[in-house]
Amino acid sequence: MHPGHEAQHVESVVESVTETGKALYPQKDLFDETVVTADSGFHSEASVKAVLDAGIDAYIADNQFRQRNPDFVDQQTHKKKTTDKRRTSRARKYFVAADFVFDESGTLRCPAGHPMKSRNPNYRDRKKGYTGKTYSSYATRCSTCHLRARCLRNPHSPVRQVTKLDGARSYTQRMIDRFDSPRGRYWYRRRLGTVEPVFANIRSIMGLDRFTLRGRTKVDTQWKLYCLVHNIGKLSRYGPSFQAPTKILR
């Protein structure tokens, strides 16, 4: 068992599966015949980078994947409205970096058409590896702009700042492009029938509603014992007619 957010452990899980695969099949790479799918809890720039750099056929969902899915285009129409003003206030739409465009002279202009000045020409996100330039609007124009409410999330901010990233795509964007492809949608839909039944069986049939031991070592042992029994059950049921699959989903 490992503490922390699950997205932090994607790289270590990949390494563990690779080592186990080499021990079982020295002449084979398990990921050559494996499609890896994961929900949005495993998504981060670092986790996506780990699987893409390893050349794994992986599809990791991001937090916005349903909003881009044509199958859910009408979900907001049927969504119940809430009377909680603290929640509905979050639904306000603000301008994003893509709404700030360069004119023919190379000057960045805000959605209202006002020019913006360079604030940091050497912006760099060391954690994610992004580079770009940061621009800032003029306080005299922002204070009287009719689009101010849609531009500034904090009404007390004097100006709007925008960072325009360089042309290189981030690992997150590369995964989004891969995930939104017909192949990505197909494999992710298969995940519901391959992953969730495992937890349903362990919790509902085997009765593991909560861990009865304390301490990382004991909890890890208890979880592995339940997984062992789960796998023995599958071998007992499907073992006699088992044939090696051409695709293995994790």
All structural domains of the chain with their residue ranges: 85-170, 195-242
Distances (CA, A) of 84 to 87, 91, 149: 6, 12, 21
Backbone angles phi, psi at 136, to 5 degrees: -135, 145
Question: Which structure tokens are listed for 65?
Answer: 């994947």
Give me the chain's average pLDDT, please.
83
The answer to whether the CB of 116 falls within 8 A of the CB of 162 is: yes
Both tokens of 91, joined, read 């639904």
Instruction: Please report the pLDDT score of residue 145 as a whole number.
Output: 93
Helices (H), the chain: 10-24, 45-53, 65-68, 85-88, 139-142, 148-151, 171-179, 182-194, 196-200, 216-238
**Secondary structure of residue 34 in the 3-state scheme:** strand
Of the candidates 33, 6, 31, which has an alpha carbon nearest to the alpha carbon of residue 18?
31
- Least Cα distance to 205 among 180, 228, 182, 230 occurs for 230
DSSP annotation of 202 reads I
pTM above 0.75, yes or no: no
pLDDT of residue 65: 85
User: Distance (Å, rounded) from C-alpha 102 to C-alpha 109?
Assistant: 6
Task: Kindly calculate the radius of gyration of the chain based on its CA atoms and give it in whole angstroms.
Answer: 24
Cα–Cα separations (whole angstroms), residue 8 to 68, 79, 97: 25, 33, 28
Residue where the block lists tokens 């079982």: 24
* CB-based burial label for 42 (10 Å; 0-12, 13-18, 19+): buried
Whole-number pLDDT of residue 217: 94
Neighbours of 102 (CB within 10 A): 11
Strand order in the sheet with 57-60: 57-60, 34-38, 248-249
Regions in the chain scoring below 70 on pLDDT? 1-4, 71-92, 127-129, 167-169, 240-250
Give the single-character DSSP code of 170: P
CA nearest to 208, candidates 226, 232, 234: 226
Tokens 């391959």 correspond to: 194
